[in-house]
Amino acid sequence: MVLSPEFYQRKNAVVIARQLLGKVLVTNEDGICTAGRIVETEAYSYRERGCHAFNNRMTERNRVMFEAGGHAYVYLCYGIHSLFNVVTNSPGKGDAVLIRALEPVDGVDKMMERVGADTPKRITSGPGKLSAAMGITRKLNGAWLQGTSVWLEDEQSVGRSLIVASPRIGIDYAGEDALLPWRFTLRNNPWVSKP
DNA sequence: TAGAGGATTGAT
DNA sequence: TCAATCCTCTAC
């Protein structure tokens, strides 16, 4: 069951980030499907400094963030890594959830091949790495998550006691907003990115 | 139009 | 701790 636009278009990115844990991200590149269960996310809101769309600032890069929830926002970080986000909220808001780590589920051989690994261990434990393994590039920026190239599927909900909230990674420039506990991981899950 | 820096990663 | 690497944003 594919997650509906209504799932993404709710107002609170933090709630959506929590609920995305356990969901399955699927990509289809030329008929080759790969899939992974989400084990780590981060919420970003236009109301705080950690967000590219802070203060409603729209640029060519983050334009997709201002579209309706349910689009993919993919951008290049450090000139090397494509980072995959899900746009949330209604048009013009600029909220998103960053997918930071996955547990490989389908097409694991293909994922290993893409990153030149001989074991699935840790090939998706980080936002740049999971994009490489899933074949996610900036070509998917702006993709509609009800389409045929990338989407998310619903799964059984994750129990509240399994979810750990902590500060987000790598946004020291955001000042006190960097302390917001908007990073969500599954407790004791081996696929979560390194601390 | 030039310069700085980044929602990362892996090696040292 | 540090370099890789290049796109984006800001300031001039």
Question: pLDDT digits over A45-78, tens only?
Answer: 999 999 999 999 999 999 999 999 999 999 999 9
Among all strands, which nt has the closest C1' to A84 (CA)?
A: B7
Footprint of strand B on the protein (CB under 7 A): A 42, 44, 50-53, 65, 73, 76-81, 83, 85, 96, 98, 122, 126-130, 168-171, 173, 193
Residue A3 has pLDDT above 70, yes or no: yes
d(CA A148, C1' B8) / Å = 28
A53 CA from C9 C1′ (Å): 13
**What distances in angstroms separate CA A127 from CA A10, A30, A55, A57, A99, one per listed residue?**
23, 22, 25, 24, 6
Q: What pLDDT shows up at residue A48?
A: 97
Whether A156 and A22 have beta carbons less than 8 Å apart is answered as: yes
Give the model's pLDDT for residue A156: 86
Q: Give the CA A44 to C1' C8 distance in Å.
A: 19
A27 closest CA partner among A147, A151, A113, A120: A151
How many angstroms separate the CA atoms of A135 and A19, rounded? Answer: 24
- Reply yes or no on whether the pLDDT at A195 is more than 90: no
User: What is the pLDDT, as a whole number, of residue A141?
Assistant: 98
Q: Which nucleotides of C are covered by protein (CB under 7 A)?
A: 4-10
- Distance of A28 CA from B1 C1′ (whole Å): 40
pLDDT confidence of residue A20:
98
Rounded, the Å distance between the CA of A190 and C1' of B12 is 26
Nearest to A136 by CA among A145, A147, A123, A149: A149
- State mean pLDDT over A113-136: 97
Mean of per-residue pLDDT scores for chain A: 97
With cut-offs at 50, 70 and 90, classify the pLDDT of residue A194.
confident
